[in-house]
Amino acid sequence: MHSFKAMNTVFWTMHLPQREQQQVESWVQYVEDKLSRFRATSELSRLNQSGGKPFVPSALLYTVLRMAEAYYRETDGLFSPFLGEEIRRLGYDRTFEELSPAVGEAQIYSRILQRKQRDINHPVQFNRMMKSVTLSPGVFLDFGGIAKGWSVQKISGWLKEDGITRGLINAGGDIVAWDEDGGSGWEITVANPMEPERNLARFTLSGCAGVATSSTRKRRWTDAAGTTQHHILDPRTGKPTASDLVQVTVIAPDVTTAEVYAKCLLVLGTKEAKHWLACRQPDLGVIAVEKHGKRFANEAAYEMGLRWIEEDLQWKI
């Protein structure tokens, strides 16, 4: 197993030759250099500073932005990389590790809670002839986890084209796996958000698939008012999501889709998520945990071989 740190998380690969391990690491670091909003020299930072003027991005940035905008529209804005000009004024211009817990995070999120919702219907315009993009005034991009998922999904495709028929890349919990040898696939476990050292469920990935987990139990802190906050925001309110769900794992044909839908379902909560998913992507597998510890899964997850670690604690949605 090969591991490295990038995008503020730990990546690791399995069943890849050494040369391909280095290719994965180099590629992920290249994507981070291009798309990190925390790096002043990144291409994404230059786009964010373009002041509403046409900007001609690299093929990489153009592709990721088109993809992110497509998910924004597909999910009716529940997934949104368009955080607005306010995010810069809030001072959230560094990674969580670099922010002062007492001054940075507390102030930033106490202000986010007070932020008024603003409806931006056309956050970005694309000129397909010129391959240029124009951000609307007040729009500030942050790709977040989708860039991480896309990067490993992209290179997994290249590795398969080069004849690597079996492999797994774990990007801080977002997983892309493939097994074209007709083998037994990959066994994946899901951690219990209430007791992270214990596993909640397991399933087997066969063929090519992606897995992503979104949780409000990670990156939590207490603000100046003594309120516990987390980093998953509801784009409809600008506040940390307050749904009844604390963790959602999605199994999809690709990890990028899994990443987007895990966040959306977490924001929606149990009652809304079931109908919303059925209208859009009913074939995605979903494993969810609500705030009192109850566990849920849809039929698609069971069809993918979901097995609960403790059978007496399962519910279906």
* Structure tokens, 170: 């774990």
Please tell me the total number of residues recorded for the chain in this structure.
317
d(C-alpha 272, C-alpha 234), whole Å: 14
Higher-pLDDT residue of 106 and 290 is 290
Model confidence at 32, pLDDT cuts 50, 70, 90, reads very high
Higher-pLDDT residue of 234 and 146 is 146
Model confidence at 110, pLDDT cuts 50, 70, 90, reads very low
Model confidence at 224, pLDDT cuts 50, 70, 90, reads low
Model confidence at 226, pLDDT cuts 50, 70, 90, reads low
* Structure tokens, 133: 């993009």
Task: Please state whether beta strands 132-135 and 124-127 pair in parallel, antiparallel, or not at all (unpaired).
Answer: antiparallel
The pLDDT of residue 278 = 93
The pLDDT of residue 168 = 97
Query: Rounded to whole angstroms, what are the CA distances from 104 to 95, 112, 228, 240?
Result: 10, 12, 15, 16
The pLDDT of residue 80 = 87
- Per-residue pLDDT of 116-160, as tens digits, reads 334 445 789 999 888 899 998 878 898 878 999 999 999 999 999
Q: Which residue has the tokens 């889709």?
A: 257
- Per-residue pLDDT of 61-70, as tens digits, reads 999 999 999 9
d(C-alpha 43, C-alpha 30), whole Å: 11
CA dihedral over 297, 299, 301, 304, signed as positive or negative? positive
Q: Please, what is the end-to-end C-alpha distance for the chain in angstroms?
A: 36
CATH of region 184-316: 3.10.520.10
pTM for the model stands at 0.85
Would you kindly state where each structural domain of the chain is located, as residue ranges?
2-135, 184-316
Whether 217 has a pLDDT exceeding 90, the answer reads no
Nearest to 153 by CA among 73, 206, 208, 190: 208
Q: Which residue has the tokens 């899994």?
A: 258
Higher-pLDDT residue of 115 and 179 is 179
Whether 171 has a pLDDT exceeding 70, the answer reads yes
- Per-residue pLDDT of 244-268, as tens digits, reads 999 999 999 999 999 999 999 999 9
The pLDDT of residue 272 = 94
d(C-alpha 175, C-alpha 254), whole Å: 9
Model confidence at 222, pLDDT cuts 50, 70, 90, reads low
- Per-residue pLDDT of 257-308, as tens digits, reads 999 999 999 999 999 999 999 999 999 999 999 999 899 999 999 999 999 9
The pLDDT of residue 299 = 94
Query: Rounded to whole angstroms, what are the CA distances from 277 to 167, 188, 203?
Result: 29, 23, 21
Query: 3-state SS of 103-150?
Result: HHHHHHHHHHHHCCCCCCCCCEEEECCCCEEEECCCCCECCCHHHHHH
Spacing of C-alpha 61 from chain mean position: 17
| Amino acid letter for position 134 | T
The pLDDT of residue 113 = 34
Average pLDDT across the chain, whole number: 84
d(C-alpha 126, C-alpha 57), whole Å: 11
Three-class secondary structure of residue 300 per DSSP: helix
Task: Please state whether beta strands 307-308 and 199-205 pair in parallel, antiparallel, or not at all (unpaired).
Answer: antiparallel
| Amino acid letter for position 18 | Q
Nearest to 259 by CA among 201, 215, 290, 213: 213
Whether 94 has a pLDDT exceeding 90, the answer reads no
All residues at 6 or more sequence positions from 230 whose CB lies less than 8 Å from its CB, including other chains: 216, 217, 218, 219, 220, 240, 241
Query: 3-state SS of 47-104?
Result: HHCCCCCCECCCHHHHHHHHHHHHHHHHCCCCCCCECCCHHHHCCCCCCCCCCCHHHH
